[in-house]
Structures are given as C-alpha cells and as structure tokens.
Structure 1
Amino acid sequence: MVARHRAKRNANGEGGVYRRADGRWEGKFFVDTPDGLRKRISVYGDTERDALNELNKLRDQRRRGIPVATTTLTVAEYMSYWLEQIAAPSIRRTTYATYEGDVRLHIVPGIGKRQLKRLQASDIRAWLSELRTKCQCCAHGRDAARKKPRCCALANPECCQAFLSASSIRHILRVLRAALQDAVDEELLSRNVARLVQLRVTDDRKVRSFTRAEALRFLEAAEQHRLYALWAVALTMGLRRGEALGLAWADVDLGEGRLTIRQALHRVDGQLRLDPVKTDASIAVLPIPTPLVTILRGHRKRQLQERFTAGSRWRETGLVFTTSHGSFIEPRNANRMFHQLCEKANVPQLRVHDLRHSCATLLFTMGVQPATVQRILRHSSITVTTGTYVEVIEAVQRDALDSMGSLFAHVGDGSTSPLSSKTGPLSSKLSSNGSE
C-alpha cells in the first residue's frame, strides 16, 4: 500500500492563504498589537502570489518587532513605539528628552486619538492652528504646581498668554514628520501626510543680545561674583550654557591658551549628567583670549582654596565651574545667578544662552567675517550663522555703506561736485569727447 503524502501545513499562527468565493485570494495572520494583545487580520490579493507577498510582509514586521497597522493603531500608540524603538537608539538622550516632551505635551493631546492610517493633512493643520493660540500654562496646569499661583490657578484666574513660539511649533511638526516618515519606511503608511503641511508663521521674537556698553556693564557687575570666569567665558567665546557648565580642566590648556569643547552638562531624566556636545561639528579647539587666560588662572586658584576649605566634603568632578563643594552646577541655578547679575548691572534681562548671541553680535560689529563667526560658534553651516544673525549683519552692512557718505560731504555746502569739476580727470575726458 502506497503511503499518502500530506501537504505541508504552516505552523500555528503562521497564517495561510485561500481563495475566496468572489475569486480573490485572502491570507489570515495573527499579529501583536501595540496594546499587547494578539489579533487576527486579513490581507488580500488578486492572485495567490499577491496574497502571499502581503502575508510575508506581515511576517517580516512581526519578526522585527514592528507594530502592525491594525484598525486600532492610533497616533498615540505609534508615537510611543517610535520613541522607544526607533528614536531612542539613534539619538542623544538630551534630544530624546526634547522629542518625548513634544510627543507627550503636544502631539498626543492634540491628535493622539486619531487612527494612524486615517490621519490627514487637514487634521494636522487644524491641530497646529489651535496650538498657536493655546496658553501652555493653562493647558498643562503649570501655575497650579507653583507654591504661589501667579495666573491660571488664582481665585480669579488670569491667562498669562504663554503661547508657543513659531520655532517651537516648527520643531513639533518636524518631530511628527520624522515619525511618520519612519512609518512610511516600515510600510505602515503609504505616504507621509505631515509633509503636505507647510507652516507660514514667523517669530516676532528677534535675537536678543547685549550691546557693547551693556556687555561692559554686565562684566563689571560680575567681576566680584565667584563665577565671574563662567560669565566671561560664555560671553567672549560663545559657549552654550551646557558646554560652559560641562567644561573640564583637562580640556583647558592655559599655557598654550586654548580650550577644547567636547562635553556638556544637562539635566536628563531628572539627573545631572555629562554628555557629548550637540553635534560632531560642535567639538572644537578654540584659542583663549589673553585677558581670559588671566581670569581663568584666578578662578583656578580660588577653586583650589575652596577645595582645601571643603576637605572631605569636596566632590571631585574635574570641572572648571562647580559649586563651592565641587559638585555640578544646576543649570537653573545658573539662570537665577545670571538674572541677579543683569539686575545689578541694570542691563536687559536676557537668557544665559543670549550670552552666545551677544558674542556673535559683538564679533560682527567688530567687522569679523561670517565664516570666522561660524567657526567660533561651531554652527553646522554658514547658512545657519547668516540666517540667525541676518539683522545684525544687515545693520553692520548699513553702517559700512553709510560711511561712504563721506564721499558726498560737500553736497549742500555750495561747493562744486568733484564729478563736475573741469579739473577732474573724468570731466576732462568728457570735455575732450564733447564733439562726439
């Protein structure tokens, strides 16, 4: 008796393909949904091969741990997956914290309940329009968390109108575009609808910086501060707040007069930590101005005295700027000290980051070329430099062209124009050619 050969069957859960009564081919497959459940879904094709191809795509997605776009997959569920599985492994932790904040505070509350596959460009436009006019303090209950309410949580609530800036809204849209593009690349979506949305809003905010006179008053007021060197370094070398607070003595060569920028101090996940600087382009070796070398030597001497006084309480971090016990300086405390110095110096209340803008502005007003300013500030391209400080550059160009007015100092005083003088070379040439 000849043994009968049974057709090979797929393992349980691997899915199968069969022909429907209407002639189309259908494949069924169990997938893992983002909420941790298993769901059986169907794929279709005009031929058996088409249905098998669709089924194989689902198998590949499950193998790679990609959530399958079932009808229950929402924007919020996908953004959670995107943050943890795609964004987190490929970006810096500080960048991740920014993305996570955009998702948690803006994207999920705004469009999180919409189904990923049904999200339209019109949905995104409507959400962004609402975002522009929504007070963030009111929306997130920030005033209620304060010990002394100032606006929304008062007995008679007052909106403080803490609206998002245009640059913040653009950043939120960029995060959404990046996430949806990854969904397209992983074949969860057929197109990125966020790319169809264009923002035509501009910031009324301009780059704020100290004038030369204000910078001098600020440095004079800061001269007796224990962190005078911090403010001097940030202003004269254009360091970001985190870069200045994360500067290590191992990266400062006072003998050669140069420092290396390679790390920054940030509060991430509730803890202060040192991370590599913003980008590879931000790593640089910069010369230290001679007066600043003297200031840093004095700061080093003062820090050694503090270390001796602290004794066993001293925490060795190796950083240039620390607390009196050697610990990291909390960035928010740096902000408070800076605002106190601004008040003492009677200068505008800027941000610590605006010391970087002040450095660039002062360099431009001293006639330094944009390419040199770019290298000092370590921008990724000269376009970033000229785009950020376009108004400053235009003002410098205007002053330069106004200086050309000295050529016309005689205009209006009754004297003869040099161009019309018969003794001038140009008028002589014109006279000789008068017959023509």
Structure 2
Amino acid sequence: MADKRGKKRSNGQGSVYQRKDGIWVGAAYVLTTTGHRKRITVSAKTKTEADRKLRKKINDSDNGVPVAAESWTLGAYLEHWLANVVRHRRPKTYQGYEGVVRRYLVPGLGKKKLATLKAPEMRAFFTRLEHDCRCCADGIDADRPVDQQKCCALGRCCDKRLSVRTIQFIHAVLRNALQQAMREELVMRNVATLVQVKTPKYRVNRGLELADARKLLRESEDDRLHALYVLALYLGLRRAELLGLRWEDVDLNEGALELVQTLQRVGGELMVVPTKTAGSTRTIPLPSVCIRALRAHQDRQIRERESAEVWKDSGLVFTNTIGRPLEPGNLRRSWHPLRDRIGLPETRFHDLRHSCVSLLLDVGVPPHIVARIVGHSDSRITMSIYAHASLDEQREALDRLEDHL
C-alpha cells in the first residue's frame, strides 16, 4: 500500500495512513501468543511517530516476541489467573489471593489494559492504598444506616488505613499475577517489580523466657491439651500442624512423628490440607518428655471415647471431647486462661513456636538443624525473624573480647 505521498511500502512493513480526524494510523500483521498472525493498529498525532510505533511492533514480532492474542484488561486477566492458576494451589492461598483481587486490585486497577500497564500507574495505586482512609475509600461508613453513621460519612475521618503488611501482600499478589502473564507472553515485563513498597518490621524476641516456659509446662499439666503445649514448645509446631496431626503419623515406640497435613478453616469450612511448604513436610524425633505427654494424652482420649454417648472418630491426636477435629479458634478457650495464669496476657499461641526456636539456639543448636525441626525453608528465616541475643549474652561476648584484648 502506498502512503499519501505515493511511496510504496515493502511487504511486511504494514501501512501508515491518516484518518479524516487527522490522526495517523499504522497497521500490520504480527505474531500473537496463540502462534497465529493478526492485524494490529497503532495511532499517533504524527506520521513519524505512527511509523515508529508500527516498526517496533513488527520488529518485536520478527524477533519472536508476540503480541497478546486478546486485549485483556487487568481485571479480566486476574479473574482468569485465579480460575486457572491459583485455583490449583492450597485453598488458603486461593482464599487470600481472591480476597486481595476482589477488594483492592479490581476496584483500583481492573479497567487498565494489561499490555500497557505503566510503573507510574502502579506507584500511584500503592500510594493511594498507603494514604487513603479505607472507610472513606470503600464507603464503609456511608453504607451504614443514617442513624449509625459516625465518622467519614459525616465528615469526621476515622483514619483507618491499611497496614504495611497488608500493602506488601497486595503487592505480592499483583507481582505474582503479572509474572504469570509474562510466562504466557501477554506482557513484555512485570511492572509491579519496578515499584517498591514498605516492608513490615517484624518484632523479635516475642517468645517465652526460660522461666516462663517452665511455668507454662507446670500450669498446663492438668489441661486436657497439655500434650499440645508440650509439642508446641519442644518442637515448635504450628497450630495448624498440631490440629492436623494423626495418630497414624505418630510412632511412640520409635519416638518420631511425621508431619504431612494441617487442619485449617477455609471459606467457612474446616479442611485438611497439605503442609505449608515442601520443607514443612518432615519427620521429627520425639524427646522423652513428648512421648510421655502423648501417651498420657492417648490414655485420656480413650477414657473420653468410652464415656462419650457418641464418638466421631477423626483419627486426629487433638480433638474435642467427642472425637471431632478441634476448631482452630476454639483453642483460645484453653490457651487464654492458661496464659493469664502464668502472667503473660499478651502472649500469642504462635509465640510458643518463637520460644522453641530461641531456646534451641540458646543451647547451641546450629541454625540449620533448628530450621529442619520447625520446618523453615531457609535457616536465614530462623536467624532473621526468630533469633535474638539477650543483653547478658551480648555483655558476655563483649567481656570475652575485653579479656582477649
């Protein structure tokens, strides 16, 4: 095809022409992600710019970089990604990702074209997430009945903003989705990686001190879940790992247990799911104190089975009084009174896991062994988040240096 000056363009170069409204358009057939060729167009205010854009598309196609077969919006692609990629991951993962997509990414960026996403758009979006009050942004107060509106709808901002951890998670979900789009050759680059967000500062030394750990073991002796606290403190097991532990995975004669599943509430349903990561599936030797606690717990469970009118055998080690799985949230009924009795009302159950790591490191266990016991994928996690050095230990180290010098 010839342009307005009559100059013939070679085959494969496409065509450039001017519309009646004065806009210049370039058109050519290029390779798509499906392996077929389709006609694409570019537009610009000048012929030179339209020609430049068109040549770039053609050059990319000649170099094996296809264009998207479909003109995805980010919202449409995220729905596709959830249904065809994330759906096959752990149920808890899907639940978390779907919530982020629905609540934040689709409302904030869903109408943007996937293929033309820009870093400044990403940066502006995360800036809004960081600074906007969620009550104002989501219209939470405005959705309440008029007589119950008390803050933003009445002009008194409640200043409820997303935490740094939540914003980091939103960024991670978007980054993972765009990385998959790159694998599918729908985008040329992952623009989410060009935008930095703040990282949360994790508190360290949240575990129990040695004296408090001993007190916990004493105070829980008469609790029907005493064995659960022993395993949490000695082995650093996660709550979901403890509640998903089966008797068939425990060998009290050999003194070992195998962790292969967890118990979690997902979407309102109690589910048995695989362990958190491949490194979380592990076999752990049982010290004698754990074996004794588990034998006593087994005897107690047998007595509960004999006295129960109806026993629903789940095969789990830790159950309610009729054999059914123990609700993760119901563990608080035992944990909260126990922590109050030992004088640690702010201590979380998960802090027992922190305690195990810190106590193992305190007695000189190498970090890579600690990581294997508690199921960390990398010993650097063990050292960076959980490990701490007390003032006494630091003072002792500096005293040794003083003596040496």
**Cα deviation, residue 196, structure 1:** 0.6
User: Tell me, what secondary structure is at the counterpart of 1:401?
Assistant: helix
Check the 8 A contact 2:133/2:157 in 1, yes or no.
no
Counterpart of 2:276, as a letter, is: K
CA distance in 2 between counterparts of 1:204 and 1:134 reads: 24
User: Tell me, what secondary structure is at the counterpart of 2:85?
Assistant: helix
> Could you report, residue by residue, the CA deviation over 1:109-168 in whole angstroms, capped at 9, with x for unpaired residues?
3323333334322222232233334566886759x99xxx9x979x998948574234x3
Check the 8 A contact 1:43/1:51 in 2, yes or no.
no
Check the 8 A contact 1:75/1:115 in 2, yes or no.
yes
Counterpart of 2:237, as a letter, is: L
Counterpart of 1:339, as a letter, is: H
Matched, 1:342 2:322: no
Partner residue of 1:359 out of 343, 356, 361: 356
Matched, 1:81 2:72: no
Q: 1:130 to 1:295 in 2, by over 3 A?
A: same
CA distance in 2 between counterparts of 1:159 and 1:219 reads: 43
CA distance in 1 between counterparts of 2:211 and 2:137 reads: 40
**Cα deviation, residue 214, structure 1:** 2.1
**Cα deviation, residue 187, structure 1:** 2.6
The residue aligned with 2:397 is 401
TM-score where L is the length of structure 2: 0.76
CA distance in 2 between counterparts of 1:373 and 1:319 reads: 26
Unaligned runs of 5+ in 2: 1-11, 18-24, 32-37, 42-53
Partner residue of 2:245 out of 233, 238, 247: 247
Unaligned runs of 5+ in 1: 1-16, 30-40, 62-67, 409-418, 420-436
- Equivalence map 1:1-400=2 (5 Å): 22=17, 26=28, 42-43=39-40, 68-70=69-71, 73-89=72-88, 91-133=89-131, 159=158, 161=160, 163-166=162-165, 168-203=166-201, 205-206=203-204, 208-311=206-309, 313-390=310-387, 392-393=388-389, 398-400=394-396
Which one is further off, 116-125 or 284-293? 116-125
Check the 8 A contact 1:245/1:321 in 2, yes or no.
yes
Check the 8 A contact 2:228/2:318 in 1, yes or no.
yes
Q: 1:257 to 1:334 in 2, by over 3 A?
A: same
CA distance in 2 between counterparts of 1:157 and 1:340 reads: 39
> Could you report, residue by residue, the CA deviation over 1:146-198 in whole angstroms, capped at 9, with x for unpaired residues?
xxx9x979x998948574234x3323212211111222222322221111112
**Cα deviation, residue 213, structure 1:** 2.0
User: Tell me, what secondary structure is at the counterpart of 2:347?
Assistant: coil
Check the 8 A contact 2:255/2:286 in 1, yes or no.
yes
Percent of aligned positions with the same letter in both sequences? 36
Of the two structures, which has the highest relative contact order with CA contacts closer than 8 Å and spacing of 6 or more?
2
The residue aligned with 1:414 is none
CA distance in 2 between counterparts of 1:322 and 1:152 reads: 44
Q: 1:240 to 1:393 in 2, by over 3 A?
A: same
User: Tell me, what secondary structure is at the counterpart of 1:259?
Assistant: strand
User: Tell me, what secondary structure is at the counterpart of 1:266?
Assistant: strand
Check the 8 A contact 1:82/1:179 in 2, yes or no.
yes
Q: 1:234 to 1:199 in 2, by over 3 A?
A: same
Q: 1:188 to 1:394 in 2, by over 3 A?
A: farther
Check the 8 A contact 2:15/2:26 in 1, yes or no.
yes
Check the 8 A contact 2:241/2:262 in 1, yes or no.
yes
- Paired residue total: 365
> Could you report, residue by residue, the CA deviation over 1:327-347 in whole angstroms, capped at 9, with x for unpaired residues?
111111123432232122211
